[in-house]
Amino acid sequence: MNKRNYLTLFRNTGEITALLAHNNDISIMIQQMVEMLAEQFSANVCSIYLLNDDSQELILNATFGLKKSAIGNVKLNIGEGLVGLVMQTCEPIIDNHASKNPHFQYIPEIGEEAFDSFIAIPIVRGADKIGVLVLQRLEINHFLNEDIIALEAVATQLAGMIETAKVILIEPQKNTPMTFVTTKEMLTIKGQPASPGVASGTALIYEQLTFTDSKTDSVIGQLTGLEAIKKLENAIKISVEQIETMQKTLEQKLPEATNLIFAAHLMMLRDSSFSGAMFKLIEDGASLQDSIKEISNKFIHIFSNSPHAYMREKTDDIQDITWRLENNLDSNSNKNTKQFGIQDKIIIASTIYPSDVVKLVLEKANGLILTDGGVTSHVSIIARSLNLPLVISNDQTLKNLTHKHNIIFDGAGGDIYINPTEQTIETFNDEIYNTFSAEDFADQMQPKTFTKDGTRILLHANINLLGELKTAKALKAEGIGLYRTEFPFLVRSTFPTEEEQIETYSKLISAFENQPVCLRTLDVGGDKVLAYYDHGDDANPELGLRSIRFTLKHPTMFAKQLSAILRAGAKTTDLNIMFPMISSIDELDKSIELLNDVKAKLKKQNVDFCENPKLGIMIELPSVLSILDSLAEMVDFFCIGTNDFVQYMLAVDRGNEKIAEYYCPHHPAVLRALKQIVEQGQKSNIDISICGEMAHQMKYIPFLLGIGIRKISLDPQHMPTVQQFISNITIDEAENQANIILTKNRITEIAKLLS
Ligand code: PEP
Ligand code: MG
């Protein structure tokens, strides 16, 4: 047996890995490595298997001693043979009589003899499995235990090298879409349903939407003088028409945003410093292309360097109009938005703001697939409000799709079909998938909801955008249990004034005249980012300056909102104001103090306002559980926001799909806490309701009724099914189920009972 020279081994390993910096051919590096290791350890065979992230197979990547034709062709599953076992356990194996090992797998076609001495080391990086390094020799008893330590050091180096190489070589290839997803065979990806509706169309990766696809590089772009001026004038005219059309649609769908989203675009198009400057450049001799580019770059530069978020936000506006202008250089005035690429597409996006969702709807995207985000995230909420089908899946394949891939999915089911077969498309056309809009059930809706044994349950509506009021009314909601006042703030490009807020809130209140209406004060921060406000780069935005913390930090803005709510509610009989995310009595003290200041000011000004609205708090944080009694003395009602309550009880980011399995509303701690809240509410004789997503999920409804919930606020489209469901259960049954569930200590036991 040779004595090993480990020092030489480490020097050589270091040299080979250092070579990668100069020569980025990973296969050559790995090949050099196996040859060097075979020599160093006097082995007949040295091989490296790498784990394919997608297929989860170990693939022979380099070898000294086996047939070269086997490279890329020998594939082992994790756990298969000794090599697969090493990857599975991430533990090295040394066996100097391997042919006797029950896990030994003989693969004759690779020229593998009965190599008896066997040593294999896992290549891992942190928690990531990368591959396996294997050495073999014909004779028995060749490898030493010390070899494991030396080879582990080599494997560590290799892991680093491969990781670097992956970034340089493998990842860019991954982005070459067609190498990964064919355009022919159907592929099904499981997603999480987030906003119902069937959507079909070709794929468009949102992040790849660029503004470079410009017509200015064409012949038209080279025009100068009078011809260029005419083309530009025409392009401006068409652009203005398109934007005005979108504005009209927007006014119907999103009255609260009025014309704000596109007002800036129109202003720029008509402004002398923007379009005027382009004409001036052409008059001075510049080509059409150069004049558009120069002016838009100038403004992009100015805005993108602004210290203010609302100014930087304008960069998007400039890119948007430039793109529109360039695309319209060659158009007739009748063209719609199709040329901008979004219409009829299935948009695949990772990061996207609520205001982007609005634009997608306006540009008539057919559906949205989010590769990052959660079902209770606010992008999902706004998609539901705007009836845009949405599914969430972090399957990486989605990022590799192109316009050549057809997609069909049902936002209520979650499955995404890429390149669907005729048969699959037909299934979607079948009755079961013929999605009715919730309003189709309006006639069947009873004005009041009762359990089977006649207990009265109130169904109130969660409203995000005024456009949903129509559905809520049609479906006979008995009030508004939660109006998320931040949505009008989110879909705009500047803070709304007090008057603008009054206008919005008045529309809401007058739609539900003489019925209870509950307005929650601004709940921004976390995943609800105002594009025009610097929220900063918090490491944990959900734990940051969010919700009531945000408003208390900006008392002037908060006071304006409270004033707008009180004034809008001057004539209503049942105005409710609710503070979100209250964590302490002190916070509630401050909020009430501010509300009283606002009332005093309005009184002094002799303005009409609602002097005695009911006051409530959202129960969303575990910190309030032990001070519920004191909080109850200060307010008229508690409203349980389970979306956040679950997030904060369990420390699970509600928007993180990677940990979605931990987001368990049925965790015993959550369910027992819900009971505790309801009991305290009953004891203190205050009103209790629930308004998180849990409230419309059938499996939880018996439990909620069983612990005493009698008022549910939910997205209006769920009202028909929820009413129907409630009418089929008795309070006795609900209480029995709740009592059994409350005795269980494990999530799994409860899940079983609920299924
Ligand atoms: C909740 O947290 O349950 C809730 C209704 O509020 P939001 O989803 O707006 O955070
Ligand atoms: Mg909340």
pLDDT digits 0-9 by tens, 610-654: 999 999 999 999 999 999 999 999 999 999 999 999 999 999 999
Q: Which of 400, 435, 470 marks a domain boundary?
A: 435
Q: Which of 405, 435, 465 marks a domain boundary?
A: 435
Does 163 share its domain with 281? Answer: no
Task: Tell whether the model's pLDDT for residue 462 goes beyond 60.
Answer: yes
CATH of the domain at 226: 1.10.274.10
Q: Which residue has the higher pLDDT, 424 or 407?
A: 407
In a domain, 315, yes or no: yes
Q: State which of 377, 385, 523 you would mutate to test the pocket of ligand 1, scoring each by most atoms of that ligand within 8 A of its C-beta.
A: 523
Render 619-645 in DSSP notation, one character per residue: E--GGGGGGHHHHHHH-SEEEE-HHHH
Can you give 416-473 as a three-state secondary structure string?
EEECCCHHHHHHHHCHHHCCCCHHHHHHHCCCCEECCCCCEEEEEEEECCHHHHHHHH
In a domain, 378, yes or no: yes
Express each pLDDT in 2-24 by its tens digit: 567 888 888 888 777 776 655 55
- For residue 217, what pLDDT band results from cuts at 50, 70 and 90? low
* pLDDT at 313 (0 to 100): 66
Nearest ligand (C-alpha, residue 642): 1
What residues does 198 pair with on adjacent strands? 410
* Owner of token pair 């509600």: 654
* pLDDT at 175 (0 to 100): 41
- For residue 428, what pLDDT band results from cuts at 50, 70 and 90? confident
* pLDDT at 209 (0 to 100): 66
- For residue 68, what pLDDT band results from cuts at 50, 70 and 90? confident
Whether 202 contacts 439, CB under 8 Å: no
CATH of the domain at 142: 3.30.450.40
Total domains present in the chain: 3
Q: Per the structure block, which two tokens stand in for 258?
A: 């009025």
Nearest ligand (C-alpha, residue 354): 1
In a domain, 362, yes or no: yes
Highest-scoring range by mean pLDDT, 340-344, 359-363, 728-732: 728-732
Q: State which of 460, 643, 645 you would mutate to test the pocket of ligand 1, scoring each by most atoms of that ligand within 8 A of its C-beta.
A: 643
Nearest CA to ligand 1 atom 6: 641
How confident is the prediction for the chain on average, in pLDDT?
A: 87
- For residue 339, what pLDDT band results from cuts at 50, 70 and 90? very low
Task: Tell whether the model's pLDDT for residue 106 goes beyond 80.
Answer: no
Question: Residue 670: enclosing H or E segment and its boundaries?
Answer: helix 668-683
Does 418 share its domain with 332? Answer: no
Q: What is the mean predicted confidence (pLDDT) over 158-179?
A: 55
Does 135 share its domain with 61? Answer: yes
Ligand 2 centroid from CA 257, angstroms:
22
Task: Tell whether the model's pLDDT for residue 224 goes beyond 80.
Answer: yes
Q: Per the structure block, which two tokens stand in for 619?
A: 């129960």
* pLDDT at 473 (0 to 100): 96
Does 307 share its domain with 349? Answer: no
Express each pLDDT in 293-318 by its tens digit: 999 999 888 888 877 766 776 777 78
pTM (2 d.p.): 0.69
Cα 77 to its chain centre, rounded Å, is: 32
Nearest CA to ligand 1 atom 9: 484
- For residue 178, what pLDDT band results from cuts at 50, 70 and 90? very low
- pLDDT above 90: percentage of residues in the chain: 51
Q: What is the mean predicted confidence (pLDDT) over 344-361?
A: 82
Q: Which atom number of ligand 1 is nearest to the Cα of residue 547?
A: 10
Nearest CA to ligand 1 atom 1: 641
Does 18 share its domain with 137? Answer: yes
In a domain, 373, yes or no: yes
Task: Tell whether the model's pLDDT for residue 1 goes beyond 70.
Answer: no
Task: Please provide the distance, in angstroms rounded to a whole number, between the alpha carbons at the two ends of the chain.
Answer: 63
- For residue 170, what pLDDT band results from cuts at 50, 70 and 90? very low
Does 14 share its domain with 84? Answer: yes
Q: Which atom number of ligand 1 is nearest to the Cα of residue 523?
A: 9
Residues bordering ligand 2, an ion, CB closer than 5 Å: 641, 644
* pLDDT at 623 (0 to 100): 98
Q: What is the mean predicted confidence (pLDDT) over 102-117?
A: 77
Whether 20 contacts 33, CB under 8 Å: no
Highest-scoring range by mean pLDDT, 52-66, 274-288, 727-741: 727-741
CB within 8 Å of 750: residues ≥ 6 apart = 666, 667, 668, 671, 741, 744
Q: Which of 575, 685, 602 is closest to 637 using CA atoms? A: 685
Task: Tell whether the model's pLDDT for residue 520 goes beyond 90.
Answer: yes
Does 259 share its domain with 116? Answer: no
* pLDDT at 571 (0 to 100): 92
Ligand 2 centroid from CA 713, angstroms:
13
Cα 453 to its chain centre, rounded Å, is: 41
449-450/415-418 β-pairing: unpaired
CATH of the domain at 350: 3.50.30.10
In a domain, 464, yes or no: no
Least confident of 64-73, 470-479, 518-527, 583-592: 64-73
Q: Per the structure block, which two tokens stand in for 598?
A: 């606002």
Express each pLDDT in 480-510 by its tens digit: 999 999 988 887 767 888 999 999 999 999 9
Gap between the Cα atoms of 586 and 751, Å rounded: 37
* pLDDT at 334 (0 to 100): 42
* pLDDT at 350 (0 to 100): 83
* pLDDT at 326 (0 to 100): 86
Gap between the Cα atoms of 249 and 245, Å rounded: 7
Does 398 share its domain with 349? Answer: yes
Cα 312 to its chain centre, rounded Å, is: 23
Question: Residue 31: enclosing H or E segment and its boundaries?
Answer: helix 26-40
Least confident of 60-74, 222-236, 464-478: 60-74
Ligand 2 centroid from CA 646, angstroms:
10
Q: Which residue has the higher pLDDT, 442 or 181?
A: 442
Ligand 2 centroid from CA 464, angstroms:
13
- For residue 432, what pLDDT band results from cuts at 50, 70 and 90? very low
Ligand 1 binding pocket, CB closer than 6 Å: 482, 484, 523, 620, 641-644, 691-692
Nearest ligand (C-alpha, residue 713): 1
Whether 559 contacts 594, CB under 8 Å: yes
Rg (the chain; Cα; Å): 32
Q: Which of 115, 138, 168 marks a domain boundary?
A: 168
In a domain, 752, yes or no: no
Ligand 1 centroid from CA 642, angstroms:
7
- pLDDT above 70: percentage of residues in the chain: 89
Q: Per the structure block, which two tokens stand in for 309?
A: 């978020």
Q: Per the structure block, which two tokens stand in for 125?
A: 């990086």
In a domain, 685, yes or no: no
* pLDDT at 712 (0 to 100): 98
Does 386 share its domain with 280? Answer: no
Express each pLDDT in 382-403 by its tens digit: 788 788 999 999 888 898 888 8
Task: Tell whether the model's pLDDT for residue 109 goes beyond 80.
Answer: no
In a domain, 458, yes or no: no
Does 280 share its domain with 358? Answer: no
Q: Which residue has the higher pLDDT, 300 or 685?
A: 685
Q: Which residue has the higher pLDDT, 664 or 312?
A: 664
Q: Could you give the 3-state DSSP secondary structure of residue 250?
A: helix
Q: Which atom number of ligand 1 is nearest to the Cα of residue 640?
A: 3
- For residue 176, what pLDDT band results from cuts at 50, 70 and 90? very low
Does 103 share its domain with 231? Answer: no
Strands lying side by side in the sheet with 346-349: 187-190, 415-418, 406-410, 198-205, 346-349, 367-370, 390-392, 192-195
Ligand 2 centroid from CA 187, angstroms:
36
* pLDDT at 477 (0 to 100): 98
Whether 528 contacts 490, CB under 8 Å: yes
Express each pLDDT in 568-577 by its tens digit: 999 999 999 9
**Residue range(s) defining the domain that contains residue 83:** 6-168
Q: Which residue has the higher pLDDT, 157 or 548?
A: 548
Does 225 share its domain with 329? Answer: yes
* pLDDT at 378 (0 to 100): 67
